[in-house]
Amino acid sequence: MKKADVVHLILGDRRRVPARHLSGKAFAPSNIALCKYWGKREQELNLPVTSSLSISLGDQGASAVLTIHDRAHDEIVLNGKSVDVSAPFSQRLSHFLNLFRLNPTQRFSIFIETNVPIAAGLASSACGFASIVKALDALFGWELSNKELSILARLGSGSASRSIWQGFVEWHRGLRDDGMDCFAEAIPDVWADLRIGLLILSAKEKGLASREAMQRTVTNGSLYSAWPAKVSSDLFLLKQAIADRDFQTLGKTAESNALAMHATMLSAWPPIQYAIPETLLTMQKVWALREQGLPLYFTQDAGPNLKLLFCKQDVEQVVSHFPEVKVVDPFVA
């Protein structure tokens, strides 16, 4: 099954209806996985090996504005800078937009503004693709459900399926080959005291793209076989922790899940190590502060940066130990 077939399943006749508006605009938040998406069971549709669970970052994410034109190429402007048509980012995006053109000559202008660092492990492709799918929906007037938007966003980038929603989000693995049961859904709990701290330890673009790292790990990571069972128990613990507002279990499970994901990468060949010395030192600092009684945990995605997890009442203490931290209230939006 191809991406275009999934688009047809979702849009049906709407696929052939001209845009209802002159432009479509939408925002989608970044999301931080507390239980990671790590491994695809199918490449074309981005179907994951396991379910995953994230928290969206409120007002931190990407805004997309789409308009239609008929010049030779899509026009992509990212954070005020025009992106060359031959750049990998343009090609990936235009390839994705091919799924939605009314006719082969229809072209889009895409203006994306992000307030999270690109390619520094802050899931910018997730909020990018989610905002574009939502902007397409606004432009064409499809009026899709969030579940349908989530499936379309997944075709652009797996974790984009989660950035359709705010708050806690579970992305269901599903069982079907066409992925129609593989979408994200919000967990309705609001945890007003929860805080996320973004720690940029290196703003350099990471060396190895996460999709390459994921694929290598699934293909030859000697410990990857133990990952699905780890995810399954972590999902159970996280959902319980959310329901019970049990911060310690939430933090511990998220940290342990992230370390296990990085552990599967270390077991691949060639080995994959996203940590830099600052990552190690910051982990050790978190562990030392926790020993001293501060309820503080971290998670790490496919990059060297860390995201801290803590509660509102500890914001001051966390900031005093990590003056460079950017504190996000995920339920502010």
Binding site for a second copy (CB under 8 A): 222-227, 229-230, 233, 252, 255-256, 259-260, 262-264, 266-267, 269-271, 273, 275-277, 280-281, 283-284, 287
Residue closer to a second copy by CB (options 275, 311) is 275
Distance CA 257, CA 242 (A): 16
Q: What are the Cα distances from residue 202, in Å, to 59, 79, 153, 287?
A: 22, 20, 28, 21
Residue closer to a second copy by CB (options 51, 56) is 51
Question: Please, what is the minimum distance in Å from the beta carbon of residue 285 to a second copy?
Answer: 12
Residue closer to a second copy by CB (options 297, 331) is 297
Residue closer to a second copy by CB (options 223, 315) is 223
Strands (E) in 200-316, as ranges, are 297-300, 306-311
Residue closer to a second copy by CB (options 97, 268) is 268
Question: Please, what is the minimum distance in Å from the beta carbon of residue 128 to a second copy?
Answer: 30
Residue closer to a second copy by CB (options 162, 262) is 262
Q: What are the Cα distances from residue 133, in Å, to 25, 91, 215?
A: 10, 17, 25
DSSP sequence for 91-147: HHHHHHHTTT-SSTT-EEEEEEEESS-TTSSS-HHHHHHHHHHHHHHHHHT----HH
Task: Measure the CA dihedral 69/71/74/78, to 10°.
Answer: -80
Question: Please, what is the minimum distance in Å from the beta carbon of residue 35 to a second copy?
Answer: 12
Question: Please, what is the minimum distance in Å from the beta carbon of residue 220 to a second copy?
Answer: 9
DSSP sequence for 152-207: HHHHH-GGGGGGGS-SEEEE---S-TT-TT--EEEE----TTEEEEEE-S--SPPS
Residue closer to a second copy by CB (options 184, 261) is 261
> Which amino acid, 7?
V
Question: Please, what is the minimum distance in Å from the beta carbon of residue 302 to a second copy?
Answer: 15
Are 89 and 78 spatial neighbours (Cβ–Cβ below 8 Å)? yes
Question: Please, what is the minimum distance in Å from the beta carbon of residue 205 to a second copy?
Answer: 17
Question: Please, what is the minimum distance in Å from the beta carbon of residue 238 to a second copy?
Answer: 14
**Tokens 């460079």 map to which residue?**
324
Residue closer to a second copy by CB (options 206, 326) is 206
- In the structure encoding, which two tokens stand for residue 143, read together? 């009026």
Question: Please, what is the minimum distance in Å from the beta carbon of residue 235 to a second copy?
Answer: 13
Residue closer to a second copy by CB (options 20, 204) is 204
Q: For CA atoms 46, 47, 49, 50, give the dihedral sign.
A: positive
Residue 283: strand pairing partners: none
**Cis bond upstream, residue 270 (ω within 30):** yes
Question: Please, what is the minimum distance in Å from the beta carbon of residue 167 to a second copy?
Answer: 27
Are 32 and 163 spatial neighbours (Cβ–Cβ below 8 Å)? no
